[in-house]
A = this chain, B = another copy of it.
């Protein structure tokens, strides 16, 4: 991208749950952008949204909408991104895509600025992908530990917030909570299910007073798409194509902020003090780990913040090469919107004359 003056940024999917957070984040960060153009489906065109304190009209998605755009942030469904990201790239924009459409494309870098910023520069399709929100919950902390100790294996369990399933997920939990609060439900088989009726929204089971071991769609051999993606994305981002990764995804009644337990095995012995020091100084990571003082991260405190929060750092009792971690991250911020904005900023900072 040959930059002369401040580049134009397009936000595609500006009216969605993540798009809304993107606009908030763009209003909070250093103002490196010229025009910020808001793009959404034709039915949202004409709406006005505030960005950097200015009411801005939403433009309908079209080829012409990308004219003059330097960087286009996409947060739209996979099938929309699959069609429109190449269109935007053909018009000269560098696309930063949050969907799953291009993440595993060998010609598309999968970027997390704190972990693999160099990958952004090689983008033969003009597209850079951001990973899914669950991978992003842990990958910044793991990247820092991997750089020091060399990662050898991951066993991960998720505690995923309902906003990972979009606005419908949040509405479903809110509606269910209103039905179960003030009752004695949760003590007899099926009583919560009967109370919420068919109101399970995007979830296969009630999510209030419950946990649901499922996220995504069914892949082969009983695995869910989300579990496979966390494995695939972690391997690509860390540059470890054969890393063993075992994941079980579970939805919990939390609005926003994913949590993960991580059992991470390394190439060599790990000291818990050394691990804590790495985490305490790694960019984008906050160490919150003093159980004696009741200090560990929880979604209620992490929501709305930018970093990856890490607590409960322990060395495995039976394996001096393994660490146990509990990690929290806001799935709408670093988990989606913030990571994309950071990638866009990396691209905008490239020396002129490129591309």
Chain A interface residues toward B at CB < 8 A:
153, 155, 157, 159, 174, 177-178, 180-182, 185-193, 204-206, 209-214, 218, 221-224, 231, 242-246, 248, 250, 252-256, 259, 261, 263, 272, 289, 291-292, 294, 296-305, 311-319, 322, 324, 326
Q: How long is the Cα–Cα vector from A256 to B298 in the complex, in angstroms?
A: 21
Contact A187 B255 (CB under 8 A): yes
Inter-chain contact B211/A298, CB cutoff 8 Å: yes
Copies per complex?
Answer: 2
Sample of 15 more A-B contacts, CB < 8 Å, known A153-B318, A213-B298, A214-B312: A181-B181, A186-B255, A186-B300, A187-B255, A206-B300, A211-B299, A213-B259, A213-B311, A218-B291, A221-B314, A222-B312, A244-B316, A244-B319, A246-B318, A263-B263
What's the least CB distance linking A102 to chain B, in Å? 22
| Cβ contacts under 8 Å, A313 to chain B | 222
Tell me the nearest residue of chain B to A184, going by C-beta.
B174
Q: How far is the CA of A181 from the CA of B272 in the complex (A)?
A: 40
B213 touches A294 (CB 8 A): no
Complex CA gap A189/B187 in Å reads 31
Residues A210 and B246 in contact in the complex (CB < 8 Å), given A218-B292, A223-B314, A317-B231? no
The residue in chain B whose Cβ has the minimal distance to the Cβ of A258 is B211
Q: Is the CB of B213 within 8 A of A250?
A: no
A-B residue pairs in contact (CB < 8 Å), sample of 20:
A159-B211, A177-B182, A181-B182, A185-B255, A189-B303, A191-B303, A204-B294, A205-B294, A206-B300, A211-B298, A213-B259, A213-B297, A213-B326, A222-B272, A222-B312, A222-B313, A224-B291, A244-B317, A244-B319, A250-B326
Interface centre among A248, A250, A299, A300 (most CB of B within 10 A): A300
Q: Knowing A206-B300, A315-B221 are in contact, say whether A252-B252 is a contact too (CB < 8 A).
A: yes
